[in-house]
Homo-oligomer: A and B are copies of this chain.
Amino acid sequence: MSVKLISSNKCFEGEQRIYSHFSNVLGCEMKFGLFMPPAVLEDNITCPVLYYLSGLTCTHENFIHKSGMQQYASKYGLIVVNPDTSPRNLNIPGEDDSYDFGTGAGFYINAKKEPWAKNYQMFSYVTDELVQLINQNFPVVPTKKGIFGHSMGGHGALICALKNPGLYQSISAFAPIANPVECPWGQKAFKGYLGDDQELWKEWDATYLATKYSGNPLELFIDQGCDDNFLKEKQLLPENLLQAAACNDHLQTIYKERVGYDHSYYYIASYVGEHIAYHAKLLN
């Protein structure tokens, strides 16, 4: 598996790069961002890698441009990789019809229903193909991986970890869609990608997965803005996830509420430093 460098810009003494590659799992060309910290560039060492999953409508660019994460990845010596949010340019009928389904809205699950099942395998892409690609092509320590994300991507980070005990050593989420089976965004996506079998939906829902999780002890750092409109509209439902985790001895949660903050990248930018410090502590 090879990667093609699209761009590289020096940033906080490291390099913010964008790569593309052909994904066999997704059947299309994909782009991802990769921040290379100065520790790696200057000292030719290996370092942990932190994956970030973006929310609805995002490409690989939003997080790179708006979060300001490079400052902290540079400081703590982490490679940060952020993939796109769905396959692209497949010409599947309806793929561009709405902001919350199809392009930009892959939900980090593996679709079962046609015409999506062939390509919309974002879970396998993120947890398997992309990890292999990064391990093969970049100076990472394969046993030191963290994952975090925002909204749809916050949920993505949670299910990637809950369905793969031991794969990630640190997990956090900004304003995750914590219980998609119970909210409009999740119901639309799961019905579209998985079909009508709601038992199947539960296999991709962080709250249900937290109920039955029995792997190695896991800590989930959940972050939530208190003035988040989607929280008020009951799209996020973090209380359901916290409740499920509280009843499971294998799970521990850290829950932070941020007074006055909304669902935007202004919120993420304000706390991404705290999250990266958290991951660095667990990964180093």
Task: Find chain B residues with CB under 8 A from A262 CB.
Answer: 9-10
The answer to whether B10 touches A269, judged by C-beta atoms less than 8 angstroms apart, is: no
The answer to whether B65 touches A270, judged by C-beta atoms less than 8 angstroms apart, is: no
Contact of A266 among B9, B264, B269 (CB under 8 A): B9
- Surface stretch bound by B, among A66-74, A131-139, A211-219: A66-74
The answer to whether A70 touches B266, judged by C-beta atoms less than 8 angstroms apart, is: yes
Task: Find chain B residues with CB under 8 A from A10 CB.
Answer: 225, 227, 260-262, 266-267, 270
The answer to whether B68 touches A270, judged by C-beta atoms less than 8 angstroms apart, is: no
The answer to whether A13 touches B270, judged by C-beta atoms less than 8 angstroms apart, is: yes
Residue of B nearest to A262 (CB): B9
Q: Could you tell me the distance in whole angstroms from the C-beta of A202 to the nearest C-beta in chain B?
A: 35
Q: Could you tell me the distance in whole angstroms from the C-beta of A69 to the nearest C-beta in chain B?
A: 10
Q: A103 an interface residue at 8 Å Cβ cutoff? A: no
The answer to whether B68 touches A71, judged by C-beta atoms less than 8 angstroms apart, is: yes
Q: A12 an interface residue at 8 Å Cβ cutoff? A: yes
Residue of B nearest to A16 (CB): B266
The answer to whether A11 touches B66, judged by C-beta atoms less than 8 angstroms apart, is: no
Q: Mark A residues whose CB is within 8 Å of B.
A: 9-13, 16, 65-66, 68, 70-71, 225, 227, 260-262, 264-267, 269-270
18 example contacts (A-B, Cβ-Cβ < 8 A) are as follows A9-B262, A9-B264, A10-B225, A10-B227, A10-B260, A10-B261, A10-B262, A10-B266, A10-B267, A11-B269, A11-B270, A12-B269, A65-B65, A65-B66, A68-B68, A68-B71, A68-B269, A71-B269
